Amino acid sequence: DTEVTQTPKHLVMGMTNKKSLKCEQHMGHRAMYWYKQKAKKPPELMFVYSYEKLSINESVPSRFSPECPNSSLLNLHLHALQPEDSALYLCASSQRPGTGNTIYFGEGSWLTVV
Amino acid sequence: KQEVTQIPAALSVPEGENLVLNCSFTDSAIYNLQWFRQDPGKGLTSLLLIQSSQREQTSGRLNASLDKSSGRSTLYIAASQPGDSATYLCAVISRGSARQLTFGSGTQLTVLP
């Protein structure tokens, strides 16, 4: 099973809402990632969790708040977003960060901020 | 800073043709290179991973090569099919990038029936 599951697939939220994106993997991977992808652009790294600890935060605004409750789950909490935050949010995982491991991506969550 | 370039940005071929997608990177100090496929509105599917010590990897009709010294990789697709239509992204993990992926902008492939 090489599956990373993301929910919801689509989310529409207002600028004052609080919502969360969820990601789950059961491959025993110890590194999990959030990426943001705008139309016709490559994915951009947002956060890296390594062994359930935040190891990289690519200067992402605080209105995005990641959380890793356990080694299988990764959440992205959203609050007071802007319309320009509308994008495809991709979760990924690998056995451990970097080096020789294949990185597996989920199907993504489409976020629209109105 | 590592930069990854993919040429062409878009490619249209008739069904059955063999084709090559190109990827180049500026810093040859990489751990590995990974090719992904992305269908419209979907996530990324890993196709092939080549370690820095390897020259090529094969999976079915796909063959990826790596020439680290020249900073180039190619993805060869044999006997293309309409179902191969997608955007193909290459990404490298560099020794100087905190071991994270640097993506190219992708090649959008259309295989015409």
B98 touches chain A (CB under 8 A): yes
Q: Give residue B96's pLDDT.
A: 61
Between the ranges A10-24, A94-108, B98-112, where is the mean pLDDT highest? Answer: A10-24
Cα angle, residue B11 at apex, residues B56 and B100 outer, rounded to 5° = 50
Q: Reply yes or no on whether the pLDDT at A56 is more than 90.
A: no
Distance CA A105, CA A94 (A): 9
Confidence tier at A58 by pLDDT (50, 70, 90): confident
> Pairing between strand A109-113 and A10-13?
parallel
pLDDT digits (tens, 9 = 90+) for B31-48: 899 999 999 989 999 999
* Closest CA of chain B from A103, distance in Å: 7
Average pLDDT over residues A23-45: 93
A31: enclosing H helix or E strand:
strand A31-37
Q: Is A90 on the interface with B (CB under 8 A)?
A: yes
Could you tell me if B41 lies within 8 Å of chain A, comparing CB atoms?
Answer: yes
Between A57-61, B82-86, B104-108, the lowest mean confidence (pLDDT) is in: A57-61
Q: What is the pLDDT of residue A83?
A: 96
Single out the residue of A27, A34, A65 nearest to residue A49, CA to CA. A34
Closest CA to B85 of B23, B10, B33, B24: B10
